[in-house]
């Protein structure tokens, strides 16, 4: 039977991790998968998380099942950070999910059960978005996310929404757009929110990098502006980056609606999908986040660590932008983009040459992880870019 299986190419981004690890060259540079790195190239556990984990080991007296919705203390503790301190709690309910991927999967599957047949999404996008939409059997409708000048293309979103109607959802990145780093500005979000009003289009907001762009509050501006305008939406949230919990897989799925019955049905459907997929989410990382958010001192420490991360990425962006022009590449837009990622207009051959000749690893799309650049490798990186684009 198994011989009937078609060939399945490995996920390109995950394949890159293996290729990089196998490269013996000492000065190799990893700009691939989206993990934060310090100025010395490390991805340490947050101190606030370490402290919470120590506490967890001391106080946790059971690892018995919690249920498909996971740790609801974690899910609720995040709500003021995501939706704002004054958000009407009766409009929102959520459940834990295995990472941002699990949360997006739940959002897409719940949307499908609610009658969504097409997902409208700006491209390029995180490659897993399209994979999840396809795996759910939904149609993907694309529009251009960014302009040639490295800003967000609001007109393209407007045109896509003008064509949208019942059975459609629109997937928006809340902040730190992956892969481009090109976010809608607050003024653009102010225009987007009314565009969604009065349309039978379900907003799906993916917020996977809150705090890595302009700050915890500023990065929620788009989501909160949309939710102040529309009656309902689905939200996929990830703590993998802003709490540094990557492999612990910590995410949450939220439904927002003023209809209490619909809200409980969204959760019941989400729980059923979770049960048939992973049954119950992994607990450890979410429990650690809950302990951080339940403790004012640990929360302060976590937010300070997040500020440091953001500050370092801003410095790297400033240095890249200061290069102005590297061969044909205009570097200034990188300075105004947000989060871990930006895209460089490189050909497949140039990306291959960076890998083969300079031991620099990046996604095939030209996406670079800004945090992979350090004070020691940023100049060699810029020189390598100059060499392959000459
Ligand atoms: C990335 O885009 O590099 C991260 O979100 C990791 C992943 O799962 O793709």
Nearest CA to ligand 1 atom 4: 34
The structural domains of the chain, ordered by start, are 11-44+310-389 (3.90.1150.10), 65-294 (3.40.640.10)
What is the average per-residue pLDDT within 338-364? 96
The mean pLDDT value of the chain amounts to: 96
Tokens linked to 13: 């981004």
Name residues whose C-beta falls within 8 Å of residue 197's C-beta, 6 or more positions apart in sequence: 229, 230
What is the greatest pairwise CA distance in the chain?
62
Tokens linked to 296: 């004012």
Contact 69/102 with Cβ under 8 angstroms? no
Instruction: Considering the candidates 71, 240, 241, 302, report the single residue annotated as catalytic.
Output: 241
The Cα–Cα gap between 116 and 289 comes to 32
Instruction: Considering the candidates 206, 240, 248, 283, report the single residue annotated as catalytic.
Output: 206
Compute the CA torsion angle 223, 116, 143, 327 (nearest 10 deg).
70
Tokens linked to 373: 């650049």
- H or E segment and range at residue 173: strand 168-173
Q: Tell me, what's the pLDDT at 19?
A: 93
Catalytic annotation present for 63: no
The Cα–Cα gap between 359 and 379 comes to 14
Residue 326 burial (CB count, 10 A): 18
Tokens linked to 304: 């300070």
Residue with tokens 């497949």, as numbered in its chain: 348
Query: Out of 12-26, 61-75, 84-98, 259-273, which region has the weakest mean confidence (pLDDT)?
Result: 12-26
Nearest CA to ligand 1 atom 6: 34
- H or E segment and range at residue 368: strand 367-369
Q: Tell me, what's the pLDDT at 14?
A: 87
Residue 216 burial (CB count, 10 A): 18
Query: Please, what sign has the CA dihedral across residues 35, 12, 130, 180?
Result: positive
Contact 45/387 with Cβ under 8 angstroms? no
Q: Which residues face 325 on adjacent strands?
A: 330
Q: Tell me, what's the pLDDT at 110?
A: 98
Q: Per-residue pLDDT for 9 more than 90? A: no
Catalytic annotation present for 206: yes
Residue 279 burial (CB count, 10 A): 10
- Residue 109 CA to ligand 1 center (angstroms) comes to 20
By CB atoms closer than 10 A (0-12, 13-18, 19+), residue 125 is buried
Q: What is the pLDDT of residues 199-226, one digit of tens each?
A: 889 999 999 999 999 999 999 999 999 9
| pTM greater than the 0.95 cutoff | yes
Q: Tell me, what's the pLDDT at 318?
A: 97
Q: Would you give the DSSP letter of residue 201?
A: E
Nearest CA to ligand 1 atom 1: 34
pLDDT band at 155 (very low <50, low <70, confident <90, very high): very high
Backbone angles phi, psi at 133, to 5 degrees: -60, -45
Residue with tokens 């690892």, as numbered in its chain: 63
What is the average per-residue pLDDT within 332-340? 96
| SS3 category, 339 | coil
The Cα–Cα gap between 115 and 112 comes to 5
The Cα–Cα gap between 332 and 343 comes to 12
CA distances from 35 to 107, 161, 172, 340 (A): 24, 33, 21, 8
Name the pairing type of β-strands 367-369 and 341-343.
antiparallel
> Which protein residues are within 6 Å of ligand 1, measured from CB?
13, 33-34, 126, 128, 178
CA distance between the termini of the chain: 51
- H or E segment and range at residue 190: helix 186-196
Q: What is the pLDDT of residues 160-178, one digit of tens each?
A: 999 999 999 999 999 999 9
Q: Is 144 left (phi over 0), alpha (psi -120 to 50) or beta?
A: beta
pLDDT band at 149 (very low <50, low <70, confident <90, very high): confident
Q: Tell me, what's the pLDDT at 200?
A: 87
Q: Per-residue pLDDT for 38 more than 90? A: yes
Nearest CA to ligand 1 atom 5: 34
Q: What is the pLDDT of residues 113-138, one digit of tens each?
A: 999 999 999 999 999 999 999 999 99
Contact 255/234 with Cβ under 8 angstroms? yes
Instruction: Considering the candidates 126, 168, 183, 240, report the single residue annotated as catalytic.
Output: 126
Ligand 1 closest atom vs CA 179 = 2
Q: What is the pLDDT of residues 252-277, one digit of tens each?
A: 999 999 999 999 999 999 999 999 99
């Amino acid at each position: 039977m198994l011989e009937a299986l078609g060939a399945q190419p490995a996920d390109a981004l995950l394949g890159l991790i293996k290729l990089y690890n196998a490269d013996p060259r000492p000065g190799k540079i990893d700009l691939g998968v989206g993990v934060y790195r310090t100025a010395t190239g490390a991805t340490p556990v947050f101190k606030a998380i370490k402290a919470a984990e120590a506490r967890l080991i001391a106080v946790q007296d059971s690892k018995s099942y919690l249920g498909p919705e996971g740790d609801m203390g974690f899910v609720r503790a995040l709500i003021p950070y995501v939706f704002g301190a004054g958000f009407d709690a009766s409009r929102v309910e959520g459940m834990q999910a295995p990472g941002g991927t699990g949360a997006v999967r739940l959002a897409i599957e719940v949307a499908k059960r609610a009658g969504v047949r097409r997902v409208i999404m700006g491209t390029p996008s995180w490659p897993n978005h399209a994979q999840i939409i396809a795996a759910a059997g939904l149609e993907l409708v694309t529009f251009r996310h960014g302009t040639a000048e490295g800003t967000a293309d609001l007109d393209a979103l407007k045109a896509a929404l003008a064509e949208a109607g019942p059975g459609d959802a629109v997937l928006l990145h809340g902040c730190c757009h992956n892969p481009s780093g090109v976010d809608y500005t607050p003024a653009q979000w102010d225009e987007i929110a009314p565009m969604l009003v009065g349309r039978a289009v379900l907003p799906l907001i993916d917020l996977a990098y809150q705090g890595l762009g302009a700050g915890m509050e500023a990065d929620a501006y788009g989501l909160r502006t949309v939710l102040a305008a529309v009656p309902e939406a689905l939200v996929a949230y990830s703590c993998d980056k802003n709490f540094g919990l990557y492999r612990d897989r910590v995410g949450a799925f939220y439904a927002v609606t003023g209809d209490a019955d619909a809200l409980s049905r969204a959760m019941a459907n989400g729980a059923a999908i979770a049960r048939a997929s992973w049954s119950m989410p992994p607990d450890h990382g979410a429990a650690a986040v809950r302990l951080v958010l339940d403790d004012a001192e640990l929360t302060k420490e976590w937010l300070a660590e997040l500020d440091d991360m953001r500050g370092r990425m801003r410095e790297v962006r400033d240095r890249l932008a200061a290069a102005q022009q590297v061969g044909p590449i205009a570097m200034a837009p990188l300075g105004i983009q947000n989060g871990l990622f930006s895209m460089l207009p490189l050909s497949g051959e140039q990306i291959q040459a960076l890998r083969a000749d300079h031991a620099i690893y990046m996604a095939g799309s030209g996406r670079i992880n800004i945090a992979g650049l350090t004070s020691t490798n940023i100049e060699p990186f810029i020189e390598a870019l100059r060499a392959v684009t000459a």
